[in-house]
Amino acid sequence: MDSFSPRIVTHPTAWPQRIESTPDIIWLDDPRANDTSNVGAKAANLSRLARIHRIPPGFCLTAACRLCHPDDRIEPALRMAISAAYDILAERCGVALPAVAVRSSAIDEDGQTASFAGQHETFLNVRGVDEICDAVERCWASAHTEQALAYRRHHDLTLASSQIRMAVLVQQLVPADTSAIMFTANPVNGMQDELMLTASWGLGESLAGGTVTPDTWTIRKPGRLVIHEGIATKNRMTIPTHGGVREIDVPRMLRQVPSLAPAQVQQATQLGIALERHLGWPVDVECAFAGGVLYLLQSRPITTIPNQGFHASQDIVSPAAGA
């Protein structure tokens, strides 16, 4: 499994230079990446949140770029631009062929009324320009699958492929020792003074896909007091492998070992509380520990809270939110 080079820089203010973006490609440390209309909700949100926590470095193919490629195919000029951006990313990461995550970032994704969780494609452990271009095309194509269109229909969103504005985010892959998902309002009982944290070994695919029973902590946010801890028998985990990722059995010696140490539970909790305070409403957070360092991977508003009827007052991904 790859590890981060000591040269990696994961906070925009620490990056040695701001790389000039192009019409088709915007870097996450470019102020234009704060604008949802440029890079989609997921990427814009990460760009803004990088002000308060470390994120992996990366760049975005703009939403306008897809509209110029209605057949979802990358032509030679765009391929050259992607290749140049990947070379710069390699320099930033200190790795010749850095493994990346390629993720869709639609304009109307990760909002209060429609999160699109699981509707669009994500590809992990992608290496090299050919694999990145293939993953980008598949992300674009995922905008008009039957599943995605049904979701759009249910939420009364546009169904016209030519009007679905989707950016694609390319970020260095975090080689997670442990992945975690956190809800800053308890999704079981609706208590907004409680935070629920789940975690398991490896990359987050097994956790998000429900193929592993994770460890679970319930934390009372005032005082960050752990009021429940459930350590599960974790049988499956996702790891990077050649050409992608695969799910394997967790080594027997780790199956009943807590996937987070007490200090890491507190660190993740502190991040969740900080994000909620910064954004002004409860959030669903994806994060990972690699080499003892906590990385923020994604944050979206919680669209419903049991028994609370929660509705946020503004959109987490509005351009003004990052101003």
Is 197 in the same domain as 282?
A: yes
SS (H, E, C) the chain: CCCCCCCCCCCHHHCCCCCCCCCCEEECCCHHHHCHHHHHHHHHHHHHHCCCCCCCCEEEECHHHHHCCCCCCCCHHHHHHHHHHHHHHHHHHCCCCCCEEEEEEECCCCCCCCCCCCCCCEEEEECHHHHHHHHHHHHHHHHHCHHHHHHHHHCCCCCCHHHCCEEEEEEECCCCCEEEEEECCCCCCCCCCEEEEEEEEEECHHHHHCCCCCEEEEEECCCCEEEEEECCCCCEEEEEECCEEEEEECCHHHCCCCCCCHHHHHHHHHHHHHHHHHHCCCEEEEEEEECCEEEEEEEEECCCCCCCCCCCCCCCCCHHHHC
Report, as an integer, the average pLDDT of 233-240.
97
Is 196 in the same domain as 60?
A: no
Is 168 in the same domain as 193?
A: no
Is 271 in the same domain as 161?
A: no
Is 273 in the same domain as 217?
A: yes
CATH number assigned to the domain comprising residue 295: 3.30.470.20
Tens digit of pLDDT for each residue in 258-273?
A: 999 999 999 999 999 9
pLDDT at residue 258 in the model: 99
Residue 2 domain flag: no
pLDDT at residue 142 in the model: 81
pLDDT at residue 128 in the model: 96
Residue 313 domain flag: yes
pLDDT at residue 243 in the model: 81
pLDDT at residue 268 in the model: 98
pLDDT at residue 249 in the model: 98
CATH number assigned to the domain comprising residue 73: 3.30.1490.20
Is 159 in the same domain as 208?
A: no
pLDDT at 53 over 70: yes
4-18, 69-83, 137-151, 253-267: range with highest mean pLDDT: 253-267
Residue 310 domain flag: yes
Residue 53 domain flag: yes
The residue range of the domain holding 301 is 178-322
pLDDT bucket at 300, cuts 50 / 70 / 90: confident
Is 234 in the same domain as 307?
A: yes
pLDDT at 63 over 70: yes
Is 106 in the same domain as 223?
A: no
pLDDT at 291 over 80: yes
Residue 1 domain flag: no
Is 272 in the same domain as 165?
A: no
Tens digit of pLDDT for each residue in 185-206?
A: 999 999 999 999 999 999 999 9
Instruction: State which of 124, 140, 172 marks the end of a domain.
Output: 172
Number of domains comprising the chain:
2
Tens digit of pLDDT for each residue in 147-188?
A: 766 766 665 665 555 567 789 999 999 999 999 999 999 999
pLDDT at residue 149 in the model: 63
Instruction: State which of 141, 172, 203 marks the end of a domain.
Output: 172
Instruction: State which of 122, 156, 172 marks the end of a domain.
Output: 172
Is 189 in the same domain as 233?
A: yes
Is 167 in the same domain as 186?
A: no
Residue 134 domain flag: yes
Is 64 in the same domain as 191?
A: no
Mean pLDDT (the chain, rounded): 83
pLDDT at residue 118 in the model: 52
pLDDT at residue 119 in the model: 57
pLDDT at residue 311 in the model: 40
